[in-house]
Structure 1
Amino acid sequence: MKSGFDAAQLVSQIQAWGRELAFSQIGVAGVNLSAAEPGLKAWLDAGFHGDMGYMASHGMKRARPAELVPGTVSVLTARMDYLPQGTPEGWPATELARLKQPSEAVVSLYARGRDYHKVLRGRLQKLAERIAAEVGPLGHRVFTDSAPVLEAELAQRSGQGWRGKHTLVLNREGGSMFFLGEIYLDMALPPTEPVTDHCGACTACITACPTQAILGPQRLDARRCISYLTIEHAGPIPEDLRPLIGNRIYGCDDCQLVCPWNKFAQRSSLPDFDPREGLAGATLIELLAWSETEFLRRTEGSAIRRIGHARWLRNLAVAMGNALRLADDPAVRSALATHLQHPDATVREHVVWALAQAAANRVDA
């Protein structure tokens, strides 16, 4: 590594390079996260991570960057806005209105475009290469929600924002509609300053959570979270939670849609996050009709592909059952019936459950 460079000046230069690569903000955090370990251990001990066994298997390595990547002495943190370029004013109300259209399939905003892992990872790697070109040989590793990294803690420590009561990072100029990424470095850089908490007495996110997964400020039981249930959870969705999922088929944005800070959410400068056809405004029937081949084609390069076709059908079946409970629709029943013999047992079970909701609707009537 070249000697004689000014570390503070280098951070300013890295931040400028980051802006050129469409990052909203670049920060620097140290590697001593020991203060976060008791909270992480308590969360794991309570079982709040659910089926995400990797959370427990990695243990405290998540809070120890120098154990994960030996030689790490600084962490560059980055955030990138993801609201699509054409997002209109008043978008939270528009998104909340989708939840009141039982026949519409609602995909979380962040997942309607290109897989953020691919977008951020490539740009973080370019940033690391620019740093190496400036300072010489550089030990580094890039992460985007892809390893045991305590992302929100690092983001908070480096001034990207503060932890909202929903546990997401909030920024005064960007709300929470952004992705996070990191570069672990073997080079010492001065940390950027953290910011203060600005949630105050607001509890809008806690109140809005459909499944009451937010047990209190910064306390989330992932086992009840719709994002976890529709994405991370591989088996049958608990029956008592199915009605609460509504028409959300991949993820959930409710806690963000009601957050006052998201009136400041910024539009992305990249077309990567513009919604793909079929992932905004499509009906449940339309998406259930996708064969596995079509699902793979439509979700190529999308974060959605990783859940697989069977989990996709499971989620759609839950949403269609919820629609049938509100209004018995022969077209919905007919579409579901085509999957009664599906080879996946979980899909079959959820289809049977969904069809039973039409009967429940008739009984209630």
Structure 2
Amino acid sequence: MESLLNAPDRTPEALNALPGQIRAWALELGFSQIGVAHVDLADAEAGLQAWLDAGFHGEMHYMAAHGMKRARPAELVPGTICVLTARMDYLPATLAADWQQQELAALADPARAQVSLYARGRDYHKVLRQRLQQLADRIQAAVGPLGHRVFTDSAPVLEVELASRSGIGWRGKHTLTLHREVGSMFFLGEIYLDLALPPSEPVTAHCGQCRACLDACPTGAIVAPYRLDARRCISYLTIEQDGPIPEALRPAMGNRIYGCDDCQLACPWNKFAQRNALPDFDWREPLGHATLLDLWAWDEAAFLKRTEGSAIRRIGHARWRRNIAVAIGNALRQTLPADLRADLRAALTTALPDASPLLAEHIEWALRQSCDHT
């Protein structure tokens, strides 16, 4: 082990011992688990092609643009011999024990603005990318010049497939990675390496006959176990969808204005979800407790200021307002106190004259919901 710490060493003995040292470094950097996957993903190609052929990727054209490179790490990054996978839990350290019940209660409150749990802290792309690079630097110090590339939901990488093959967990029926000791509330990241590290042992799947995630999906986006139609997914609709949200799907969105956690809230394994002590994942107020009116009041300058360093900023103020308009419309479909109903209608009506055509269409739809349900 001294050779690993003090001088570059790529002997087979040193490489076999290296994963243990990498795990120690990873824990120091805030990661929860690491694994090693081989690069032969040939048996995943048919499923990927079928998903693309079905059009389930929607407007995420980048998923098709790279063809089968997503399933061929050595083509995506020439020279890659193995992939180091990393898990980072993202629930904040201060989260209450009954967090699932609290989130479900918030979803049932039409006045609330529901932001996905992972997006209430610092942008995970920034957190993981920086720390994965630090981990790669430590590996390079141990073995010498290192061919590598860091990924964190930032390129055509089959993250769940690699995580499953490296022992991070198994693919749940909602298509996310599941671990029987920690659930699914974690981020994944990868380092493509030109090292022949010994692969980790995969784990067995433990979904059994459970279909809680399928039954919980508000829009029926999980069209079959292990098969997601992103075009119906609220996370896709509120984040990736450019242009109008399909009218037929708007009522099912409820008060979800950025992302959706329903399939994870319903998953029994998430009773074991772990907290992370990194302050990056502490919630930025008011995102954990905001009302629709609170967030509708943000003009573009306020939006940019309040979302600095957040994953939310990338959707821009226009989509942000579009999403909130839909949520307000869904609130107006509910039984509300008269003053709240009046305030919501006034907020929409005041914004309508200066709204873009896209926003105006969603505002007008929202106002019609009040007319139909009073």
Q: TM-score range, shorter-chain basis?
A: over 0.9
1:141 corresponds to which of 129, 149, 157: 149
Name the residue aligned to 2:257.
Answer: 249
1:333 corresponds to which of 345, 350, 358: 345
2:327 corresponds to which of 293, 298, 319: 319
Helix, strand or coil for the counterpart of 1:86? coil
The letter of the residue matching 2:365 is W
Name the residue aligned to 1:288.
Answer: 296
Q: Please give the per-residue CA displacement for 1:246-284, whole angstroms capped at 9, x wherever unaligned.
A: 000000000000101001100012011111011111110
2:371 aligned with 1:356: no
Alignment of 1:78-97 (within 5 A): 78-97=86-105
Identical-residue share of aligned pairs (%)? 69
Farther off after superposition, 321-330 or 210-219: 321-330
Cα offset, 1:132, TM superposition: 0.4
The letter of the residue matching 2:180 is R
For 1:278 and 1:290, locate their aligned partners in 2 and report how far apart those are by CA, in whole Å. 12
For 2:329 and 2:17, locate their aligned partners in 1 and report how far apart those are by CA, in whole Å. 58
1:195 corresponds to which of 203, 223, 246: 203
State the number of aligned residues: 362
Name the residue aligned to 1:186.
Answer: 194
Farther off after superposition, 84-93 or 302-311: 84-93
2:110 aligned with 1:98: no
Helix, strand or coil for the counterpart of 2:257? strand
For 2:108 and 2:33, locate their aligned partners in 1 and report how far apart those are by CA, in whole Å. 35
Q: Please give the per-residue CA displacement for 1:189-224, whole angstroms capped at 9, x wherever unaligned.
A: 110000000011110000000001111110110010
The letter of the residue matching 1:63 is A
Helix, strand or coil for the counterpart of 1:76? strand
Cα offset, 1:327, TM superposition: 3.4
Cα offset, 1:16, TM superposition: 1.0
1:164 corresponds to which of 155, 158, 172: 172
Helix, strand or coil for the counterpart of 1:6? helix
Helix, strand or coil for the counterpart of 1:26? strand
Q: Any gaps of 5 or more consecutive residues in structure 2?
A: 1-7
Cα offset, 1:343, TM superposition: 4.5
1:240 corresponds to which of 235, 248, 267: 248
Cα offset, 1:187, TM superposition: 1.1
The letter of the residue matching 1:359 is C
For 1:81 and 1:101, locate their aligned partners in 2 and report how far apart those are by CA, in whole Å. 27
Task: Provide the alpha-carbon RMSD of the alignment.
Answer: 0.9
CA contact (8 A) 1:162 1:170 kept: yes
Name the residue aligned to 1:263.
Answer: 271
Cα offset, 1:7, TM superposition: 1.7
For 1:30 and 1:320, locate their aligned partners in 2 and report how far apart those are by CA, in whole Å. 48
CA contact (8 A) 1:327 1:358 kept: no
For 1:12 and 1:339, locate their aligned partners in 2 and report how far apart those are by CA, in whole Å. 57
2:163 aligned with 1:151: no
Q: Please give the per-residue CA displacement for 1:229-252, whole angstroms capped at 9, x wherever unaligned.
A: 000101100111000000000000
For 1:322 and 1:35, locate their aligned partners in 2 and report how far apart those are by CA, in whole Å. 43
Runs of 4 or more above 4 Å deviation? none
Helix, strand or coil for the counterpart of 2:132? helix
2:26 aligned with 1:26: no
Cα offset, 1:172, TM superposition: 1.3
Name the residue aligned to 2:4.
Answer: none
For 2:305 and 2:132, locate their aligned partners in 1 and report how far apart those are by CA, in whole Å. 27
For 1:140 and 1:342, locate their aligned partners in 2 and report how far apart those are by CA, in whole Å. 49
Helix, strand or coil for the counterpart of 1:103? coil
1:122 corresponds to which of 127, 130, 141: 130
- TM-score normalised by L of structure 1: 0.98
Farther off after superposition, 338-347 or 217-226: 338-347
For 1:64 and 1:345, locate their aligned partners in 2 and report how far apart those are by CA, in whole Å. 42
CA contact (8 A) 1:79 1:180 kept: yes
Q: Please give the per-residue CA displacement for 1:90-118, whole angstroms capped at 9, x wherever unaligned.
A: 11111011011000000000000000000
The letter of the residue matching 2:28 is E
Q: Any gaps of 5 or more consecutive residues in structure 1?
A: none
The letter of the residue matching 1:12 is G
Cα offset, 1:337, TM superposition: 1.3
For 2:356 and 2:50, locate their aligned partners in 1 and report how far apart those are by CA, in whole Å. 36
For 2:262 and 2:300, locate their aligned partners in 1 and report how far apart those are by CA, in whole Å. 29
2:82 aligned with 1:74: yes
Cα offset, 1:344, TM superposition: 2.4
Cα offset, 1:8, TM superposition: 1.9
Name the residue aligned to 2:19.
Answer: 11
Name the residue aligned to 2:119.
Answer: 111
The letter of the residue matching 2:157 is V
For 1:311 and 1:100, locate their aligned partners in 2 and report how far apart those are by CA, in whole Å. 23
For 1:286 and 1:14, locate their aligned partners in 2 and report how far apart those are by CA, in whole Å. 44
